[in-house]
Structure formats: C-alpha cells, structure tokens
Amino acid sequence: MNPHVYLQDEKQIESIESIERVDEQGYLYHMICTYDYYDIPDAFKAVIDAGCSTFVTRNLEGEILFCRNYDYSHFPLNQRKYPRTGLNVIVAGNNPKARYRSLGVADAYWVDYKNGTYTNGMADDGKCDLSPFVLLPFLCMDGMNEAGLAISILALCVKAEWKPIDYDKYKEMLNENKDNLFLENEGETPDPYWIKSAVGSICVNEKDHKDWIAEKKTIESALPEKPYYLHPILMRMALDNCGSVDEVIGLFNSYNVRGAMPGADYHIMAADKSGASVLTEWIDGKPVVTKTDHATNHYVGKEDPFFKDGCGRDECLKAGLFRTRKAGMREDFAENLLKLVVQDPSNKTDSGKTQYSCIYNLNKQTMKIFSFGDMSTSWDYKL
C-alpha cells in the first residue's frame, strides 16, 4: 500500500486506498472517488495540458459511441533522454454533491508536471505518496456520466512571439528537452506558426548571427462578470451536472476559461446519447460552438494557420465516418479507426504518444479502454 500521509479525510483515504493496477506495466490504474472533490486543500491544486483525436458514431444497433485517443509525450523528470512514460487512472466518480455519477480517465502525470515525477508503476510501488491523487477527478481528459453525456479535451496550437536574444548566449540557452528551430537562409526569420514551438524554444539563424526565444500568451476568454476556471474544471462540472449537449453549452456560457499555462489552449468535444455532438472553442474571447462528429488538434470554428495543409488524423476520421454514416459503424471498425490515428513516435511521423484509447457506449454506459497505444488488449467497465 502506498503512503498518503497528507490526507485526514476518511473518504479521501478510502478512495486513495481503492487504487488498483489494471495493466502489467503500470500505465493504467483504477480509482473509486466517493469524496467531495470540490472541497480539497489549495496545496493540491494543479494545471494540465492535453492533445488527441475523438469522434462520435452509431453502432449497428443505433447506440452512440464516443471514441477517443488521448495523446501526449511524457518523459520521466521531463528529460527526453528517457523513454516515454505515462500514468493514467480510470476515475469512478461518485461525488455526494454531484447530480450524476461518472466514469473517466485522468492523466496523473499532471499532478507534478513541473518535475515529471509521476510515471508508470508508481501508483502501487509502496513508496510514492498518493495524497495529491485527490486531484484526479479534475485531471480527467475525458469521461461519461450516467445521463449518457460524454466529453473530452483536445489541445490547440498557440502563436509564438519570437523575442530577439544575445547571439553569443544562445548555446547556453538551448534546452535539449524542447524543439528548437535552426534556419539556413540569410534574412530568414522564425515562423510564429511553427507547430513544434514551445515556450522557451530557441530559433537560430547562424548566417545572420541572430537568434530568438519563443514566448506565448496565456489564452483566456473575456465574458463580462463571469468567473474564471481552467478547461478541465469546466469538464468536471459538466460531467457532474450536465445531462445533454445543450446543458453543456449553457454551462460553458456561464463561465470564462483560462489556459493552464502560457501557450496552452484547448477545445472541448461533448456528445449525448441522443447522438448530438458539438465542439466548443473559445475564439476572440467568447465560446464558439460547432456541430461536428469528430475533432483533432486544430480549430474548426476559424481558420487555423498551424494546419494550412490539413491534418492527417482528421482526414482519416472524416473518411471513416463518411463511409459508415448511413448504416452505422461496427464496434471493431471503431477500434480500427482509433488504431489508425494512434500516435506512435516510432513511425517517424508522430511527435505525440497515445497514452490510452477509449470507446464509451453512451446508451449502455460502458467503457472499453486500451492502454499506452496497445490496441491488442482492452478492459471493460460499466457505470
């Protein structure tokens, strides 16, 4: 049993002690949350990031399937010299103050993302203190509730603002754990829409003896007199309290959102058991809702300059959904479509890594989950 020395609440302790390993490698665990997770110490509150693929379809029986890959490249201690890792937890939410019970999947790496200390196998290694895992209901990247509502978050790219720096100092500023840009032509300057840029990325033009460092804004909406929440907090509020897509839209119109960190922006997909599905994006300071049955990591409600040539994963999803739009999609086809857009850096195309894949049946209230990009083995859960 892992320690949880900072917890005093009996229900919190009970939930932490319910954690069980699902897979052999320790990438996936299960946790039952029966405490009031809206009332937790400020010291445990954290921020997150995310990126992925998702789509909504009907199976041959007419039931609504909400399908999802959650993609992110995590490294132990945030050092790219180590193999990619992950620590994901199936969260069975039963908050006594919530309107609905829920089932979702949290990315526990974000509990201490600044240090990168939570990695596979640590949730039952007998050493790691799991007290901060009381945050996990707020770190769910997707989920479904007993009303038949499902929701997921997907990352978007944010424009880089390249600031000139002292050319003689750029080598000591290069960070091997970030993508950096090296220009080859005289007069060339960094592209603000270079998709690999991150806060702290360096761009160098050795021919011109110029270099720059990337900065990015904190993205937030601006609805007058509305309180601010992070995107995953709004998702948790939706899972706990919304029974339909229309209720989610109403909830999102009641609050402002703020990115978890500079350069972080997201859109959120929601679907319900009627088959309705929408994507909410925050554009020009306000929520913009688009009816769609799939999404990846580019804007839909406006032109996205990061994806001028399109997105390969988006095109795959669009083709698969178009092919089965009349009769519905066999569930093994849905699995294969998720598999087709799994991110795997070993294929020399992807920079992300699929942490897990889910198929939620919104009518039967079941979830089928695959761990760490391995689509050969799955586990089944039911609300």
Give the pLDDT confidence score for residue 211 in this predicted structure.
Answer: 95
Higher pLDDT, 14 or 42: 14
DSSP symbols for 49-97: --EEEEEEEE-TTS-EEEEEEEE--B-GGG-TTSPPB--EEEEEE--TT
Per-residue pLDDT reduced to its tens digit, 347-358: 877 778 999 999
Give the pLDDT confidence score for residue 351 in this predicted structure.
Answer: 77
d(CA 242, CA 249): 9
Residue with tokens 């050493």: 127
Give the pLDDT confidence score for residue 317 in this predicted structure.
Answer: 96
**Same structural domain, 150 and 279:** yes
d(CA 140, CA 153): 9
Q: What is the CATH number of the domain that holds 130?
A: 3.60.60
**Same structural domain, 328 and 351:** yes
Give the pLDDT confidence score for residue 274 in this predicted structure.
Answer: 97
361 forms beta bridges with 65, 366
Number of domains in the chain: 2
Quote the tokens at residue 222: 């601006």
Look at residues 299, 300, 372, 322 and name the one whose alpha carbon lies nearest to residue 342: 372
Residue 217 has pLDDT above 70, yes or no: yes
Q: What percent of the chain has pLDDT over 90?
A: 89
Give the pLDDT confidence score for residue 282 in this predicted structure.
Answer: 97
Question: How many Cβ atoms sit within 10 Å of the Cβ of residue 325?
Answer: 12
H or E, element range at 323: helix 312-323
d(CA 25, CA 308): 39
Average pLDDT over every residue of 255-259: 95
**Same structural domain, 63 and 130:** yes
Give the pLDDT confidence score for residue 264 in this predicted structure.
Answer: 92
User: If 0-12 CB within 10 Å is exposed, 13-18 middle and 19+ buried, where does residue 151 land?
Assistant: buried
Residue with tokens 């761990």: 371
pLDDT band at 48 (very low <50, low <70, confident <90, very high): very low
**Same structural domain, 64 and 85:** yes
pLDDT band at 47 (very low <50, low <70, confident <90, very high): very low
Give the pLDDT confidence score for residue 169 in this predicted structure.
Answer: 86
Give the pLDDT confidence score for residue 43 in this predicted structure.
Answer: 52
- Range of 208's domain? 161-215
Residue 44 has pLDDT above 80, yes or no: no
pTM listed for this prediction: 0.94
Q: Which of 141-150, 172-181, 305-314 has the highest mean pLDDT?
A: 141-150
Quote the tokens at residue 110: 């974000």
**Same structural domain, 53 and 185:** no
**Same structural domain, 149 and 165:** no
Look at residues 180, 216, 174, 167 and name the one whose alpha carbon lies nearest to residue 49: 216
Per-residue pLDDT reduced to its tens digit, 70-107: 999 999 999 999 999 999 999 999 999 999 999 999 99
Average pLDDT over every residue of 266-282: 98
Per-residue pLDDT reduced to its tens digit, 166-178: 998 889 999 999 9
DSSP symbols for 301-314: SS--GGGTT--HHH
Is 258 inside any structural domain? no
Q: Which of 176, 192, 215 is the last residue of a domain?
A: 215
Is 74 inside any structural domain? yes
